[in-house]
Every structure is written in C-alpha cells, then in structure tokens.
Structure 1
Amino acid sequence: MYQSILVPVDGSTHAEHALKVAAQLAKGTSATLHLMTVAEFPPDNLGLFTGGTPEPFTEEDRDKLAAGMKEEARKAIDKARAAADFSGIEVQEVVRQGRPAELIIQEAKTLGADVIVMGSRGISDVRGMVFGSVSHKVSHAADCSVITVT
C-alpha cells in the first residue's frame, strides 16, 4: 500500500500523535518513514521581531539566529524519535529552512511520498488562526494523500 510516508514534526503533541499513526501505517506496509521539520527563516528586521523599533541587523546576527532556529528544529526531530516505536521501520530525517507548507509539499514531491501524515494543529496555533494552518495549506495543495491527526 504505502512505500513512502512523510511526517512533518514541530514538537507539538499533535505532531507526536500523527507520528504514532504514521509508525503504525509504516509497520503494516513496510514503508519508509520520512521525518521532516522546518525551521522558518529569521526575520529581516530584528527590531520588528522583538517588538521594538525597526533596526536592521547584520548578516552575522541573521546567521546566528538561523542556526538557532535550525537547532530548535533538530530538537523537534529528536523529540519525535522519543515519542514513537520505530522498531522494524526504516526512518530517514530531514531538516529544511523556509516556509513550512511549501517545503512539506516540495519534499513530498521529491520523495514521491504516497501520503503525508501530520498534526492538525502545531506549535503556531495563534498564527494559524490568522494566516491559515500549515496542515490546511498542505492538505489543499499536496499531490498525494494527506492524513491529518488531532
């Protein structure tokens, strides 16, 4: 049935639930499980990011912030690995940086994923209410099936 399952994780409990469902699907079908997390881009203006007045910051500051965001994304993968039983499952991991919905859809295409299994709400609930959730965007734009888990 499934050969390739993409599971975006962000450290949220919804993502952990989705990962457990995906692990069960993978065990039943001998599919490869692809864990993915996305670190968003750092802002172009540190002052606006911190709620202050607009002040541009140096490329070095931006690189440090980007590295910190990637490290936090890496922690989401580590947390996900601790949340589910992967015995007998081939698991691959990827960390990307950019816009989550776009990169999840792109990664699914690149992998030829049969299905994306993801949480219905992630760590950015408030932002999702304003701009639309990542899972909503992915479910409407992905070329493969999308299973959302609450």
Structure 2
Amino acid sequence: MYKSILVPVDILEEELTRNALKHAVYLAKLADAKVYLLHVLPISSAIINSYALGYPELKDRASIKAEEDLKALVDSLDLPKERVSYSIAFGSPRDEIAVSAESIEADLIVIGSRRPGITTHLLGSNASGIVRYANTSVLVVR
C-alpha cells in the first residue's frame, strides 16, 4: 500500500519522535516501504545575521548536531538500512515537510503530536498545519 513514508522528527522531542517512528516502522514493514526522516531547523534572525556578517559556522554546528542525532536514530530502527534515509532542512516545518513529501513522492506522512493546548489553539501546531496543507495522507500519532 505504501512505498514512501515521510516522518518529520524533532530530535529534541524524543517521545513524539519515538511514537511516530513506532507507527511508521510498523507500516513500512507491512508494506515493504521506505522511511524518510526529516528534521527541520528553524531559520532564526541570529542565523540569518550570522550569514550576512560572514559567520556560516553557526548553521554548520546546528546541522552537524542534527545529523549526528539523526544517524543515531536511523541506527536504532528495526528496518534494513537501505530502506531508511534522512535529511535536514532549514525553514518553516510545515513548508519544508510539504516540499520534502512532494520530492520523495510520499504516500504517507507520519507525525507525532501532543494533546492540543491553549497555545496550539491560538498559534496552531506543526501537525495541524501539515494536515491542512499536505497533498498526501497524514497520520497524526499521539
């Protein structure tokens, strides 16, 4: 049924990531699908200013840390390594997830989410934004 499953992960949110991955790995095993992990780092004004001033190493440090954590995450999954890959993007999580889903032709996006609270009601959440704007099916795991 699924050939390509995108799992947006936040390496700082271990429980959300673990829950989403548990479902994605289960579905990937059933369907012999590939799993793509995506971690999106926000672009802050500090990073933009550091580039403007000639300090690109700030972005590199964030990327290096994210890549180390993603490699460890990939190694922990109970899937053949050729069926798992990862990438890092900079920008809005909702937008980068949509772009990535399209580029890998994802059949499904599996994302972890917390129980909604007042802040997500007022500001929205990444999961709700993805559900609203994705062009493919989205499984929200709590």
Verify: 1:9 aligned to 2:9, yes or no.
yes
Aligned residues: 137
Percent same amino acid among aligned pairs? 29
Which of 44, 51, 59 in structure 1 is aligned with 2:53? 59
- The 1:10/1:45 distance shift into structure 2, 3 A limit, reads closer
Per-residue CA shift, 1:35-75, capped at 9, x if unaligned?
Answer: 111111131489xxxxxxxxx655233x2322222233224
Equivalent residue letter for 1:139: V
List aligned pairs for 1:40-79, cutoff 5 A: 40-44=42-46, 59-61=53-55, 63-79=56-72
Equivalent residue letter for 2:4: S
Equivalent residue letter for 1:3: K
Task: Calculate the aligned-residue CA RMSD, in Å.
Answer: 2.7
Q: Which residue of 2 aligns with 1:133?
A: 125
TM-score by length of 2: 0.82
Which of 39, 42, 57 in structure 1 is aligned with 2:41? 39
- The 1:85/1:42 distance shift into structure 2, 3 A limit, reads same
SS at match of 1:60: coil
TM-score by length of 1: 0.78
CA distance in 2: counterparts of 1:2 and 1:32, whole angstroms: 8
Unaligned runs of 5+ in 2: none
Per-residue CA shift, 1:82-115, capped at 9, x if unaligned?
Answer: 5532247611111111111100011101111000
Verify: 1:95 aligned to 2:88, yes or no.
yes
CA distance in 2: counterparts of 1:90 and 1:100, whole angstroms: 23
Higher Cα radius of gyration: 1
